[in-house]
């Protein structure tokens, strides 16, 4: 099916918007009137430009307050419309979107609305133009799609049909199943938008907070399934009014948009296998957890990070044969420490950060093929003679993803000259989860990408009331791979973008004692926290004393328990966590996050 995007969803001049849509692979656009009015290009030039870029102008919009009007007002509508039809002929735009009226002049009279829309459609047909009538959620008399369809049905003109917009329908909590009752030839246009979990008056919500399908809480898969099952053949068109997209890089937004449509198309295809024209994504290759995490350090932070790793029980197992890179390991937990120059990055000297996530999978090539189909660019890297060629791509947050089969004969471990085997029993077992901090402008994009690339489910979506600003936090996971994404709700470019790597263990008290002996700097937790814990749990006093001594935090969910502690921060941004899950605890100690954030500021 054709893929389209409304120009209102992208920033910049009309030329920039069209170039971005074309570069991202869209087949067409919805042209917003203001983008035309503000453009120095004539309608004919716009048509030629779109043609050059391989874009159809699918629709021109919006045309407002057209129906259910007194005769004199409707006469003015027709005059206004004639000019639009003439412009559309020059543009080569075949369809005009008419929004249900918000005019105080309009009357609540479906027959009058139908009659006037019929007249409008008849005039449009003389110019080869069709009219798609859309119920705005805040329309004065028409706000739901069934109502718009009743009027279109009554008007009974071949050049008049309905435009369905997922936002208006789903924000009112309307059931989209009724779409199946609208004849296919009357489904003129489909606009897709998702929205976050906010309870807000529809107009303001619509004009500022829409997001791409898969980035909010609406069921766009189910919605689109209804529309396609009804026989809709037109484009899937994204119409996303969003404050961030209005001001950030159009090319990037267009790629984000295209990725969301690819993910949506694949999901709908699974529901409607007989439907042609929906491209499949390469299937998810289930991950088997983290092969490794790479931490990039500079000469200043290297000593600190290495000191912490040694204290956490890691041993230096190997040095890379050609690069200033070390392999540290204990149990199944592997960390690669890469000494690099931060020149040209947004990192300050002395910082340390997670730069690569190595994902363990039985089939690295097909896992990478899926990430590639999700528009992740390949990671440029120098590969020395004889070194492993792990497929590597760049995720939207800038992290590199390496797809690994560690135990394979030609596995990546062979790139390291072995130093020695680890001595003694490991203190920690494996990487439990990794928490990343994408830039706020790329947050939704990043979470959608990781979810889709690895087939992970959204496990939690919370706000952490940190004393230095609200932080949004989403956890996505399957049984093996757990990722957290944190971002300040209000953009703060000066604040460190904290990241952490958490390690699992089976006895956090023993681990804490080891860390203490090894002089690992642990994050101190205030005594008040433990007074409160004593009051609300049955933890024995002696256990609480030990927890307080080591800064061990606690959470519980039913019978399942969670113990965790943190190191202080290495550089500005990176810290480590040690966790012990007891029973079937699947969370991350979210109630403790504000305490941790406050302690990190002390």
Ligand X SMILES: O=C(O)c1ccc(O)c(O)c1
Binding-site residue numbers for a divalent metal cation are 134, 165, 191, 239
Q: State the DSSP H helix or E strand holding residue 222, giving kind and residue range, or none if neither.
A: helix 220-229
| CB-count burial class (<10 Å; 0-12, 13-18, 19+) for 199 | exposed
Q: Does 360 bind Mg ion (CB under 5 A)?
A: no
Distances (CA, A) of 169 to 62, 206, 552, 589: 18, 11, 47, 36
Q: Which is nearer to ligand X, 97 or 520 (CB)?
A: 97
Work out how close the CB of 121 gets to Mg ion at its nearest, in angstroms, rounded to a whole number. 19
In this chain, which stretch among 185-193, 200-208, 241-249, 342-350 interacts with Mg ion, using CB under 5 A?
185-193
Nearest residue relative to Mg ion (C-beta): 165
Is 351 within 8 Å of 301 (Cβ atoms)? yes
Q: Does 191 bind Mg ion (CB under 5 A)?
A: yes
Q: Does 61 bind ligand X (CB under 6 A)?
A: yes
Assign 396 to helix, strand or coil. Answer: coil
Task: Return the one option of ligand X, Mg ion, none that residue 392 interacts with (CB less than 5 to 8 A, by type).
Answer: none
Q: Does 30 bind Mg ion (CB under 5 A)?
A: no
Instruction: Tally Cβ neighbours within 10 Å of residue 154.
Output: 14
Work out how close the CB of 50 gets to ligand X at its nearest, in angstroms, rounded to a whole number. 20
Q: Provide the CA 177 distance to its chain's centre, in angstroms.
A: 27
Q: Which is nearer to Mg ion, 27 or 239 (CB)?
A: 239
C-alpha–C-alpha distance, residues 456 and 354, integer Å: 20
Which residues, numbered 80-109, are part of the site for ligand X (CB under 6 A)?
97, 99
Q: Does 165 bind Mg ion (CB under 5 A)?
A: yes
Which residues, numbered 172-201, are part of the site for ligand X (CB under 6 A)?
191
| CB-count burial class (<10 Å; 0-12, 13-18, 19+) for 385 | exposed
In this chain, which stretch among 191-199, 230-238, 356-364, 452-460 interacts with Mg ion, using CB under 5 A?
191-199
Instruction: Tally Cβ neighbours within 10 Å of residue 143.
Output: 18
Q: Which is nearer to ligand X, 206 or 215 (CB)?
A: 206
Q: Which is nearer to Mg ion, 148 or 592 (CB)?
A: 148
Which residues are 32's β-sheet partners? Answer: 61
In this chain, which stretch among 77-85, 157-165, 456-464, 486-494 interacts with Mg ion, using CB under 5 A?
157-165
Q: Which is nearer to ligand X, 136 or 533 (CB)?
A: 136
Task: Return the one option of Mg ion, ligand X, none that residue 206 interacts with (CB less than 5 to 8 A, by type).
Answer: ligand X
Is 162 within 8 Å of 145 (Cβ atoms)? yes
Q: Which positions ≥6 away from 155 have C-beta within 8 Å? A: 114, 115, 117, 118, 121
Strand boundaries in 152-283, DSSP class E: 160-165, 187-192, 236-238
Spatial strand order in the sheet of 392-394: 392-394, 400-404, 352-361, 287-297, 333-339, 325-330, 315-320, 416-418
Q: Which residues are annotated as a binding site?
A: 134, 165, 191, 239, 433, 500, 577
Work out how close the CB of 3 gets to Mg ion at its nearest, in angstroms, rounded to a whole number. 16
In this chain, which stretch among 183-191, 438-446, 518-526, 591-599 interacts with Mg ion, using CB under 5 A?
183-191
C-alpha–C-alpha distance, residues 505 and 331, integer Å: 10
Q: Write out 110-122 in H/E/C secondary structure.
A: HHHHHHHHHHHHH
At 440, give phi and psi (nearest 5°). Answer: -55, -40
Task: Return the one option of ligand X, Mg ion, none that residue 99 interacts with (CB less than 5 to 8 A, by type).
Answer: ligand X
Output the six-digit token pair for 64: 């407002």
Work out how close the CB of 126 gets to Mg ion at its nearest, in angstroms, rounded to a whole number. 26
Q: Using CB under 6 A as the criterion, what x/- string covers residues 217-256 for binding ligand X?
A: ----------------------x-----------------
**Which of 4, 39, 206, 466 touches ligand X by CB under 6 A?**
206
Q: Using CB under 5 A as the criterion, what x/- string covers residues 233-262 for binding Mg ion?
A: ------x-----------------------
Q: Using CB under 6 A as the criterion, what x/- string covers residues 391-430 for binding ligand X?
A: ----------------------------------------
Q: Does 62 bind ligand X (CB under 6 A)?
A: yes
Assign 362 to helix, strand or coil. Answer: coil
Q: Which residues bind Mg ion (CB under 5 A)?
A: 165, 191, 239
**Binding-site ranges for ligand X (CB under 6 A):** 61-62, 97, 99, 134, 136, 165, 191, 206-207, 239
């Amino acid at each position: 099916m054709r893929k389209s995007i409304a120009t209102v969803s992208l920033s910049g001049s009309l030329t920039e918007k069209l170039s971005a849509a074309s570069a991202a692979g869209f087949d067409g656009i919805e042209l917003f009137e203001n983008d035309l009015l503000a453009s120095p290009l004539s309608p004919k030039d716009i048509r030629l430009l779109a043609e050059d870029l391989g874009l159809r102008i699918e629709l021109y919009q919006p045309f407002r307050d057209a129906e259910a009007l007194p005769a004199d007002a409707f006469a003015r509508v027709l005059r206004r419309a004639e000019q639009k039809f003439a412009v559309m002929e020059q543009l080569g735009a075949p369809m005009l979107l008419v929004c249900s009226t918000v005019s105080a002049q309009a009357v609540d009279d479906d027959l009058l609305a139908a009659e006037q829309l019929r007249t409008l459609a008849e005039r449009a047909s003389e110019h080869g133009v069709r009219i798609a009538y859309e119920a705005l959620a805040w329309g004065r008399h028409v706000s739901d799609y069934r109502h718009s369809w009743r009027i279109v049905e009554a008007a009974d003109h071949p050049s008049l049909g309905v435009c369905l917009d997922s936002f208006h329908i789903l924000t009112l909590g309307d059931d989209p199943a009724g779409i199946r009752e609208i004849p296919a030839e009357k489904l003129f246009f489909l606009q897709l938008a998702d929205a976050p979990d906010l309870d807000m008056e529809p107009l303001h919500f619509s004009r500022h907070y829409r997001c791409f399908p898969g980035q909010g809480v609406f069921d766009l898969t189910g919605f689109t399934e209804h529309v396609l099952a009804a026989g809709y053949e037109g484009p899937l068109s994204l119409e996303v009014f969003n404050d961030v997209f209005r001001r950030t890089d159009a090319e990037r937004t267009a790629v984000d948009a295209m990725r969301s449509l690819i993910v949506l198309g694949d999901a709908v295809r699974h529901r409607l296998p007989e439907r042609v024209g929906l491209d499949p994504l390469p299937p998810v290759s289930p991950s088997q957890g983290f092969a490794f995490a790479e931490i990039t350090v500079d000469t200043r932070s290297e000593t600190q990070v290495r000191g912490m790793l040694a204290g956490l029980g890691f041993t230096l197992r190997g040095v890379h044969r050609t690069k200033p890179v070390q392999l540290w390991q204990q149990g199944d937990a592997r960390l690669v420490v890469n000494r690099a120059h931060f020149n040209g990055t947004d990192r300050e000297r002395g910082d340390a950060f997670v730069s690569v996530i190595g994902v363990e999978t039985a089939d690295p090539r097909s896992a990478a093929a899926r990430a590639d189909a999700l528009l992740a660019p390949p990671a440029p890297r120098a590969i020395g003679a004889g070194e492993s060629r792990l497929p590597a791509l760049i995720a939207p947050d800038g992290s590199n993803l390496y797809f690994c089969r560690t135990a394979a004969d030609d596995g990546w471990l062979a790139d390291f000259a072995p130093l020695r085997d680890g001595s003694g029993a490991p203190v920690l077992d494996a990487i439990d989860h990794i928490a990343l901090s994408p830039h706020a402008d790329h947050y939704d994009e990043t979470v959608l990408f990781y979810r889709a690339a690895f087939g992970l489910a959204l496990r939690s979506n919370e706000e952490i009331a940190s004393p230095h600003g609200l932080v949004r936090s989403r956890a996505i996971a399957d049984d093996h791979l757990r990722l957290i994404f944190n971002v300040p709700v209000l953009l703060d470019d000066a604040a460190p973008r904290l990241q952490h790597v958490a390690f699992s263990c089976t006895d956090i008290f023993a681990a804490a004692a080891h860390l203490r002996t090894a002089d690992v700097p642990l994050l101190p937790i205030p005594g008040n926290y433990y007074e409160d814990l004593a009051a609300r749990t049955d933890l024995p006093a002696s256990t609480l004393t030990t927890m307080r001594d080591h800064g061990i935090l606690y959470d519980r969910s039913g019978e399942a328990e969670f113990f965790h502690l943190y190191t202080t921060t290495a550089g500005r941004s990176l810290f480590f966590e040690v966790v012990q899950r007891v029973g079937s605890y699947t969370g991350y100690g979210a109630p403790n996050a504000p305490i941790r954030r406050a302690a990190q500021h002390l």
